[in-house]
Amino acid sequence: MQNLSFRKMEKADLPAVVRIENDCQSHPWSLMQFLEGFHAGHSGWLATREVDGAELLVGFAIVMSVLDECSLLNICIQPDCQEQGFGWQLLEFVLARAAADNMTRMFLEVRASNKAAIRLYERAGFEQVSVRRDYYPAVVGREDGLVYILSSFSSGSLPDASSPESGR
Which residues belong to the active site?
A: 109, 121
> Parallel, antiparallel, or unpaired for β 54-66 and 105-111?
unpaired
Q: How far apart are CA 76 and CA 91, in angstroms?
A: 10
**Looking at the chain, how many residues does it have?**
168
Chain-centroid distance, C-alpha 92: 10
Q: In this structure, how many other beta carbons lie within 10 angstroms of the beta carbon of residue 131?
A: 11
Which residues are CB-contacts of 141 (< 8 A; sequence separation ≥ 6)? Answer: 134
Q: What is the DSSP string of 96-154?
A: HHHHHTT--EEEEEEETT-HHHHHHHHHTT-EEEEEEEEEEE-SSSEEEEEEEEE-S--
